[in-house]
Structure 1
Amino acid sequence: MRPHPGTDGGLPASLPMGTADVAYHLAMGGRPLPTGLVFGFSGRAPALDAVRARVAERAHRIPALRYRIARDRTAFSRVDRIAVEHHVHEAWLPGDDDGSGAGRLMLSRPMGGDDRPPWDVWLVHGPTGGHSLCYRTDHTFQDGVGAAHTARALLDDDPRGGPAPHRRAWPTARGLAGALGDVAASLRPSAKPAFDLPGSGRTGMCQAVVPLARVRAVGRAHGATVNDVFLAALAHATGTWHAKNTGSPHPPLPVAVPMSVRGPGEECAPGNRIVVARVLLPCDAPSPHHALERIKERTTVLRTSRQRDALRLLLTAGPRTVGARVGTRMVHGRTVAGPASSVNFGAALVHQGSTARRAVVYSGLGAGIRCVTTLTSQHDTACLALMYDEALSTADELPDLWLAGLLELERS
């Protein structure tokens, strides 16, 4: 097991990349893949100097912010001095009416070079006094749950809480068989007619915001989790969208569902602590209710068989380059439409007395992926975000179709 630095100041000079880190490095050919969180606020924005002062006060105590990527050695190297002025920036987006402009900016702006840690913070001014705080990193360096913990530790007035840690356990035989089955499925192409288009190289982003209580109420009524409801409504939205554009039903759509294996004490450790499960979204289901029942069957097996731990053991049992090659196949546009990720950030971020209205996990596209979908829960709000290749010219319809699927689930 690779070491993970704590918060007591004893940081090793270098850390080897983990299997998932090497997988992202291989998939992107060494190029950065931006990922992170956007927090939307109402009211007056803080001064840039105040944000920089907060970052300067805390960054040196957060392990994930103290390393850079040494790509030639597939390792992370410690940086002893953080030049805050190179990491904290400001931008103005007066036309960002729907709140997704900050995310699009984070996906399009170049990231810093390899001579400094791969993260930055942006204060983005929007219209009518609104503003966003954005924490951005390179996905080779950090996964979404790690980014959530780091963003809270860096920016929150009371930096406690966040996503729950994963408690490791031994998988069942069914979990091991399921993990092997997912790996085997990644060796062959999958039918994804709505997403099998030549890429444009340009990334769009759109989103929809909904009260979290609505999603939870649907889950309680149907014996499902928030993640189950998210995936079922996404299946319905994709099927409806494809039928509208082609007149044909869409076959079950393979997506990669990231699952955190970040344990206690690893909250702000550098590196990716994730595995992915292959889930077929039942886009051909006759209703969102039927889609939800099929999703529940799959996720129940994932949980009870502890397939998450089976995948962790499987991908780290041998040389990391072998596990990384397997990982790149499991999250590639040949075999899945893209990741579909749900992150519960927990209590709302509070920065200098101002409470964020919503949080959004975002990610760029790579490895032939045409679409990444996230659902980020914060306090009483959930935000669905869709990052898509602009070759999918009508993909911005999907958030509204997802909301329509949620409404049907409420009525069923």
Structure 2
Amino acid sequence: MPALTPVLAPPAPNPVDLLFHAAGQHATHPEADPRVGAVLHFTGNPPDLAQLRGRVSRRLDRLPCLSHVLRADDGPPRWAPVRPDLEQHVDAHRSRAGTDGVDDAVRELLRQPLPVGAPAWRLVVLAGHAAHEYCLVYLTHHSVQDAGNIVSVLETLFGPDQDGTPTSSTVPRFEGAGLPGPRQVISTVAHTWRGTRPHGLWSSPAQPLSGRRHTLWQDMPNRLLRETARAYGATRNDVHLAALTHAISQWAAEHRPEACRDPLPMMVPVNLRTHDETALSGNRFFLARLDLPGGSMPAPVRLRRTLAPTAPLKDPAYRQSLYRLTRHTPRTLLDQVIARSAQPDSLTAVGSIFTVRKPLRYHGDPVHRFAPIICCPNGFPLAVGLFLYGETSTASFRIDSALTGAEAIPRLWRQAVDDMAASVGAAVGGE
């Protein structure tokens, strides 16, 4: 089925786009290729492929990230428009019956290549795991699309039409804001440069990472996150990062003692995508590094101690300064900062969070679960992406298989949040 190509062209690829492009080319194993996406779980009967392709075709002009290819091997890096063949990009896959059928099928799809010489994305109908249920699996490459683009694509395809609500993919708080003052800019520059310091926590030659990945998911009620955050005067991201640090520290105490340290460096993506950049190809975020409270301590204590190091993430001036630095810093200097951050001695665990605000459905079938698919390129020990949708939060875990016993980290993460919540409940009950 021919599809019209949007006329809106993205600007030139940025250093983060090229970094992910290189990570894909030099991945030591297909599981380390930075492929990302999401799994939408629907209640209903599987859709007709022709109708689904028609839906994509009609909305393609609003999604330039679906019709451009990153060219970086024959001249200056650029985005080239390419007409997607929806017969190739939109297809179906059968999963086995049972509770693990979807997860196993997604792992299998991640091992399959994305379309060659065409825009790097697939939309796959997944059925067979349960009666009156199906999934739509959206897969793409991080050099082309970040979390904001993934959400833009899925909200455009399956969200309400022209409902007036802002897209979940952009950050409105700093749009139109005044210029950050010199003190704020200097503070942001210093914070950013400190985050590039090497620590060597995960690059020991005696304990090399493998490039192989565990691919796991863990659910949590949104209400639990929300009420726990409120009780501690925190954000849901604070709860998530504290729980992740707690899980890593608990695991490390048994299996990798040198990583059970305080502080524990964590990389956190900061979304910088503006409304005008909705669905444009490429990445619009900055990977900040925070030094979070590591070592051995109770989960509630860790959450309280997390509030100070995460304070910049809650400051609109910090985000505005990052935005201006990434847009207006000379390219050679920005390349240097990003390259320094990407050195093996500087890489560490990644913890991200994203809220999907719009309700999604297809032909009346509601989405009852939005499961992200995060990537974990070479050099990273693990990456975790938590997406909040409806009543459920779902976290995607990609963990290097060389980390003995680390497949327990999702369970430990969930237990940490339960412990934080229980501590608050016990305190309230005793008052």
Q: Distance in 2 between matches of 1:228 and 1:133?
A: 30
Match in the other structure for 1:290: 301
Unaligned runs of 5+ in 1: 1-7
Provide closer, same or farther for how the CA distance between residues 59 and 22 of structure 1 changes in structure 2, counting only shifts above 3 A. Answer: same
Which secondary structure state, in structure 1, belongs to the residue aligned with residue 277 of structure 2?
coil
TM-score relative to the length of structure 1: 0.88
Which secondary structure state, in structure 2, belongs to the residue aligned with residue 293 of structure 1?
helix
Query: Where in structure 2 are the equivalents of 1:6-405 lying within 5 Å?
Result: 10-12=7-9, 15-29=11-25, 33-72=34-73, 73-79=76-82, 81-94=83-96, 97-98=99-100, 99-113=102-116, 115-129=117-131, 130-156=133-159, 158=161, 161=165, 162-163=167-168, 165-166=170-171, 167-168=174-175, 169=177, 170-172=179-181, 173-174=183-184, 176-192=186-202, 197-245=207-255, 250-251=260-261, 252-304=263-315, 306-405=317-416
Which secondary structure state, in structure 2, belongs to the residue aligned with residue 365 of structure 1?
coil
- Kept in 1: contact 2:192–2:289 (CA 8 A): yes
Provide closer, same or farther for how the CA distance between residues 185 and 249 of structure 1 changes in structure 2, counting only shifts above 3 A. Answer: closer
Q: Distance in 1 between matches of 2:411 and 2:266?
A: 20
Structural RMSD (CA): 2.8
Q: Distance in 2 between matches of 1:375 and 1:66?
A: 27
Q: Distance in 2 between matches of 1:264 and 1:325?
A: 28
Which secondary structure state, in structure 2, belongs to the residue aligned with residue 375 of structure 1?
strand
Which stretch has the larger CA shift, 280-289 or 341-350?
280-289
In the alignment, residue 140 of structure 2 is paired with which amino acid? T
Which stretch has the larger CA shift, 219-228 or 41-50?
41-50
- Kept in 2: contact 1:331–1:339 (CA 8 A): no
Which secondary structure state, in structure 2, belongs to the residue aligned with residue 54 of structure 1?
helix
- Kept in 2: contact 1:192–1:253 (CA 8 A): no
Which secondary structure state, in structure 1, belongs to the residue aligned with residue 238 of structure 2?
helix
- Kept in 2: contact 1:11–1:63 (CA 8 A): yes
Q: Distance in 2 between matches of 1:107 and 1:209?
A: 20
Unaligned runs of 5+ in 2: 28-32, 424-431
Which stretch has the larger CA shift, 37-46 or 274-283?
37-46
Give the C-alpha shift of residue 102 in structure 1: 4.5
In the alignment, residue 33 of structure 1 is paired with which amino acid? P
Provide closer, same or farther for how the CA distance between residues 43 and 326 of structure 1 changes in structure 2, counting only shifts above 3 A. Answer: same
Deviation per residue, 1:77-105 (Å, 9 max, x gap): 122x3211111121122156244334423
Q: Distance in 2 between matches of 1:34 and 1:226?
A: 26
Q: Larger radius of gyration, structure 1 or 2? A: 2
Provide closer, same or farther for how the CA distance between residues 56 and 305 of structure 1 changes in structure 2, counting only shifts above 3 A. Answer: closer
Give the C-alpha shift of residue 153 in structure 1: 0.8
Provide closer, same or farther for how the CA distance between residues 305 and 16 of structure 1 changes in structure 2, counting only shifts above 3 A. Answer: closer
Give the C-alpha shift of residue 196 in structure 1: 8.4
Q: Distance in 1 between matches of 2:251 and 2:13?
A: 39
- How many residues are aligned here? 403
- Kept in 2: contact 1:256–1:340 (CA 8 A): yes
In the alignment, residue 303 of structure 1 is paired with which amino acid? K
Q: Distance in 2 between matches of 1:238 and 1:327?
A: 25
Which secondary structure state, in structure 2, belongs to the residue aligned with residue 297 of structure 1?
coil
Provide closer, same or farther for how the CA distance between residues 97 and 108 of structure 1 changes in structure 2, counting only shifts above 3 A. Answer: same
Give the C-alpha shift of residue 159 in structure 1: 6.9
- Kept in 1: contact 2:151–2:169 (CA 8 A): no
Deviation per residue, 1:174-215 (Å, 9 max, x gap): 453243333244242343499984232322211111110110
Which secondary structure state, in structure 1, belongs to the residue aligned with residue 266 of structure 2?
strand
- Kept in 1: contact 2:123–2:136 (CA 8 A): yes
In the alignment, residue 399 of structure 2 is paired with which amino acid? Y
Which secondary structure state, in structure 1, belongs to the residue aligned with residue 309 of structure 2?
helix
Q: Distance in 2 between matches of 1:48 and 1:308?
A: 41
Which stretch has the larger CA shift, 91-100 or 212-221?
91-100
Which secondary structure state, in structure 2, belongs to the residue aligned with residue 127 of structure 1?
coil
In the alignment, residue 222 of structure 2 is paired with which amino acid? L
Provide closer, same or farther for how the CA distance between residues 325 and 367 of structure 1 changes in structure 2, counting only shifts above 3 A. Answer: farther
Deviation per residue, 1:26-46 (Å, 9 max, x gap): 444477621111112244222
Provide closer, same or farther for how the CA distance between residues 274 and 248 of structure 1 changes in structure 2, counting only shifts above 3 A. Answer: closer
- Kept in 1: contact 2:36–2:141 (CA 8 A): yes
Which stretch has the larger CA shift, 244-253 or 38-47?
244-253
- Kept in 1: contact 2:6–2:60 (CA 8 A): no
Give the C-alpha shift of residue 283 in structure 1: 2.6
Q: Distance in 1 between matches of 2:386 and 2:314?
A: 19
Which stretch has the larger CA shift, 279-288 or 175-184?
175-184
Identity %: 26
Deviation per residue, 1:131-173 (Å, 9 max, x gap): 2212222111111112111122123364755416322443452
Provide closer, same or farther for how the CA distance between residues 196 and 352 of structure 1 changes in structure 2, counting only shifts above 3 A. Answer: farther
